[in-house]
A and B are shown apart, each in its own frame.
Chain A
Amino acid sequence: MTERLNQLLHDEADRLEIPPVAAVDVLGRGRVLRRRRRAGSFVLAAALVVLVGTGGVVAYDRLSRDSTPQLSDAAAYEQHGVWMADGALHIGNNSVEIEGAINAVYYTAAGVVVRTGETGDDEIDPQDGHLSLVRPDGSVSPLGPRLDDVEPGTSPDSPLIAFARPVGSDFEAVVWNVETDELVAAVPFDRPRVTWHGWAAPPVSLSGDHVYVSAERHVLAVNFRTGASKPLAGSPGGRWEVIAGGNWADERSGEVVVRTLEGQELLTVPVETNWAETALSPDGRFVVVAPESDGSAGDATPSLHDVTTGASRELPGDQGPLGWTPDGHALQLSGDKVLSCTAIEQECSTVAEVDDPKSVRLADAYYGS
């Protein structure tokens, strides 16, 4: 199926007139680099000695610095959300050390589902899909299912996690209750001979009683209570759709259209570049639109929009990724402080101060490519 694209690329490359090798220039530049690296390594070694001598890093101050009374565990989870640093996961008022490398965190009403593996890479290792539930009170329970090479969907207003998996010659949409650690439903759907995605099964989103499967020709809306399924009207298929909180951020050339899953258009954001990447807050109330540079538009600034009111603001380039709490507060790292802010008005409270800001990862953050 790739033959034509493969052939075009090879034809283009084979027609190239290859310039001669400027070996002298290459060697000259290589020698300069080698000298610089030798000089730099002594400086680095000295810096490491200093760090070891002072006892290393990592101590958190988890108490808020403002004067408001500490929230209950449940309220802190809703408003302060989850963030990670130095192998520990911070959920609301509590901190938990997680065994294995944290690869992903998914919000549910029962707490966060943590996906762990062996790699130590903060991106997903598709072969490591161990799951645990971390509750707002900091207690941890292992979960039965594994997510091997699949992308799940959750919702902060539901104790469920949904994912697709191959079963024989078909796929099935699986819904699991993380509070009770029990299977809720498994609904089969067609598995084509060739799929658009590279995972073991297509990625899914969860909203209400539906699992939204990013399938070949459209998004397939599977009602896991009844087993009925139908296409999501207007969805193009063949890509991973952005769906959260009952809303869908439809990325089209020149614009992003946010609509309800019933089809009502809520917000249209024009995009100056050809395409934009988007991220919805877990409750679907806010959308981040990050125009992608195609080499002609220069730098384009990401923006944050209130889907209901249309209010918006630009996100400064040095602000870093924006995370989310279950209730739609924006999580931000500012200096050495983790802040929880109302998204558009930017009224913030300090969640914590950290010693190593570079190690911080915010749940549901848009770490754009």
Chain B
Amino acid sequence: MSRSPSDGEFTQFAHATWASLYRTAYLLLGDRGEAEDLVQTALAKTYAAWPKVRDVHAAPGYARTVLVNTASSWFRKRSWRNERPTAVLPDLVDEHDPSDRPALMSALAVLPPRQRAVVVLRYYEDLSVAQAASALGISEGTVKSQTSDALARLRTLLGDAVVPHTLGANHD
């Protein structure tokens, strides 16, 4: 892609990817307002860097990488950590569904940010170790060690029924 898109073309792209990016952002951050801000920021950066995107089919993956990198930079900021809510619960609880939903988001909130990102990318986005490493800008070895630590912690919080003890990270 050798030229910047027209505003109409980029708006079309933003509409097409918004929901998917928002869902990932929410799982990463656990807060709807922050998730919306994150997606807007990621799309704005994608717009600014559009000539770097090799073709339109690569654009959603590029936007997701930008989203994950932006979230990572937010996590490192002192002020972001201090202002974050101490507990994360869904706004609505389905009283007829005794599922693990509240426990899931609370458990994700306990994970350090990078571990949370690895869990979301690998078990929600279904990325391989290599793809997750590329998205996070870290080595595959670090993805694996972060995955194992995260799963061990989720196991203690959510139980073996959700995270079996012999759950492997080598499902590439």
Contact in complex: B47, A34 (CB < 8 Å): yes
Per-residue CB proximity of B54-89 to A under 8 Å, as 1/0? 000000000000000000000000100110111100
Partner-contacting stretch, out of A89-97, A191-199, A263-271, A305-313: A191-199
Partner of A298, one of B7, B11, B82, B139: B82
Query: Taking CB as reference atom, which chain A residue is nearest B163?
Result: A5
**A45 interfacial by beta-carbon distance below 8 Å:** no
Q: Is the CB of A198 within 8 A of B36?
A: no
Contact A121 B139 (CB under 8 A): yes
Which one, A1, A9, A33, A295, contacts B109 given CB within 8 A? A295
Q: For A10, what are the chain B residues with a Cβ–Cβ distance below 8 Å?
A: 124
Flag whether A25 is at the interface (Cβ < 8 A): yes
CB within 8 Å of B: which of A216-249? 216-217, 236-240
A327 to chain B: closest CB distance in Å? 28
Residues 6-38 of chain B: 1 if any A CB is under 8 Å from the residue's CB, otherwise 0?
A: 010011001100110011101100001000100
Given contacts A30-B44, A293-B112, contact A123 B138 (CB under 8 A): yes
Interface of B is mostly: helix
Closest to B19 in A: A18
Pairwise interchain contact B168-A196, C-beta atoms closer than 8 A: yes
- Cβ B112 vs Cβ A216 within 8 A: no
Counting residue pairs across A and B whose Cβ atoms lie within 8 Å, the total is 193
Interface of A is mostly: loop
Q: Give the Cβ gap from A243 to chain B, nearest Cβ, in Å.
A: 15
Does A198 lie within 8 Å of B27, measured CB to CB?
A: no
Q: What's the interface size class on B, roughly?
A: 35 or more
Of A11, A217, A240, the contact of B148 (CB 8 Å cutoff): A240
Bound-state CA distance A369–B150 (Å) is 13
Q: Are B44 and A26 in contact (CB under 8 A)?
A: yes
Q: Per-residue CB proximity of A1-25 to B under 8 Å, as 1/0? A: 1101110111111111011011101
Size of interface on A: residues with Cβ below 8 Å to B: 60
Contact present for B114 and A195 (CB under 8 Å)? no
Give which listed residue, B23, B154, B166, contacts A13 with CB less than 8 A.
Answer: B23
A179 at interface by CB-CB < 8 Å: no
| Known contacts A5-B154, A196-B169, A240-B148; A19/B86 CB under 8 A | no
Q: Is the CB of A126 closer than 8 A to any CB of chain B?
A: yes
A33–B168 CA distance with the chains assembled, in angstroms: 42
Closest 7 interchain pairs by CB? Answer: A30-B47, A198-B144, A29-B44, A123-B139, A33-B48, A198-B169, A296-B86
Q: A5-B163, A31-B47 are in contact. List 6 more A-B contacts (CB 8 A).
A: A1-B164, A30-B45, A121-B139, A196-B151, A238-B155, A296-B86
A-B contact pairs, 20 of them (CB 8 A): A4-B162, A8-B99, A8-B101, A15-B92, A18-B18, A19-B32, A33-B45, A34-B48, A126-B141, A151-B141, A195-B170, A198-B170, A216-B165, A216-B166, A238-B148, A293-B81, A293-B112, A294-B111, A296-B84, A299-B81
State the B residues within 8 Å of A (CB).
4, 7, 10-11, 14-15, 18-19, 22-24, 26-27, 32, 36, 40-41, 43-49, 78, 81-82, 84-87, 90, 92, 99-101, 104-105, 109-112, 114, 119-120, 123-124, 126, 129, 138-149, 151-156, 158, 161-171
